[in-house]
Amino acid sequence: MGPVIFLFDIDGTLVDAAGAGRRALTASFHAQVGRGDVLADITFCGRTDRGIVREALRLAGEPDDAELVDAILADYVARLPAELAATAAFRVHDGVDEALEAASGVGMVGLGTGNIAVGARLKLDPFELTPRFSFGGYGCDAEDRAELLRIGARRGAERLGRDVAACCVRVIGDTPLDIAAAHAIGASCLAVTTGRYDRVALASHAPACIVDDLARPAALEFLRAPPFTVAHR
């Protein structure tokens, strides 16, 4: 049996930033292109930061060239710490510590998140969670979620000195896009309802397991299971 690589999503799975990221990005759009309103109807759940910025630029009638995208994201991460600090509801979801302990006892623990790497660190640092993840796939690596998971899995395999094909990959997330991306790379997915989606919405995408939070026995069973014993769906 090969080793296990875990890829955890951040927003809605590990932490609830209570809209701080949206507020920071809206302010950045207003500063950079004068159109913060274009973000109002864009769904952030399961999306990558760069993908969200490109869609908003198209809605604003602006070119989605790399230089402008980078400028907006640089402004965003400069604003994010203050937004997070001012958000009283910013918190870690129940069961995160237990889940990370369980996963670390079985395999390599990394991130699979649509956040760019700097934004990921800013959301995890206040809870001293950053050191719990030794690698990851981020929204700055790829706009497609399946591709950033593939990159994260490859980085985990490299740390293990193994070929990724010989590893068992498990994704933990809170959106249908997390589940679909896990399936796309041949991984199993633990879905949690701590984000915007309930059990019915998540079940329609056939994750391996659905739990209400990461402290639930079923979540810990999924995380502690030996390699290749959790069915991929």
CA–CA gap between residue 3 and residue 168 (Å, rounded): 6
| Domain co-membership, 67 together with 162 | no
> What is the amino acid identity at position 204?
S
Burial of 68 (0-12, 13-18, 19+ CB in 10 A): middle
Residue 1 pLDDT > 60? no
Confidence at residue 230, expressed as pLDDT on a 0 to 100 scale: 77
Burial of 63 (0-12, 13-18, 19+ CB in 10 A): exposed
Residue 189 pLDDT > 60? yes
Domain endpoint, select from 85, 111, 127: 85
Residue 232 pLDDT > 80? no
Nearest to 219 by CA among 179, 180, 189, 186: 189
Confidence at residue 201, expressed as pLDDT on a 0 to 100 scale: 97
Does residue 207 form part of some domain?
A: yes
What CATH number has the domain bearing residue 162?
A: 3.40.50.1000
Task: Identify the band that residue 229 occupies on the pLDDT scale cut at 50, 70 and 90.
Answer: confident
Q: Taking the CB of residue 1, how many other CB atoms lie within 10 A of it? A: 9
3-state secondary structure at position 210: strand
| Domain co-membership, 139 together with 204 | yes
| Domain co-membership, 12 together with 26 | no
Q: Quick one: average pLDDT of 32-37?
A: 88
pLDDT 10s digits, 133-186: 999 999 999 999 999 999 999 999 999 999 999 999 999 999 999 999 999 999
Place of tokens 């759009």: 29
For residue 184, the Cα-to-chain-centroid distance in whole angstroms is 16
Q: Quick one: average pLDDT of 48-71?
A: 94
| Residues of the chain above pLDDT 70, percent | 98
Domain that holds residue 44: 20-85
| Domain co-membership, 35 together with 115 | no
3-state secondary structure at position 108: strand
Q: Which long-range contacts (CB under 8 A, 24 or more apart) does 32-37 make?
A: 32/68, 32/71, 32/72, 32/75, 33/57, 33/60, 33/62, 33/68, 33/72, 35/60, 35/62
Is the pTM for the entire model greater than 0.85? yes
pLDDT 10s digits, 106-129: 999 999 999 999 999 999 999 999
Confidence at residue 228, expressed as pLDDT on a 0 to 100 scale: 79
Structurally, the chain folds into a number of domains equal to 2
Confidence at residue 72, expressed as pLDDT on a 0 to 100 scale: 96
| Domain co-membership, 13 together with 24 | no
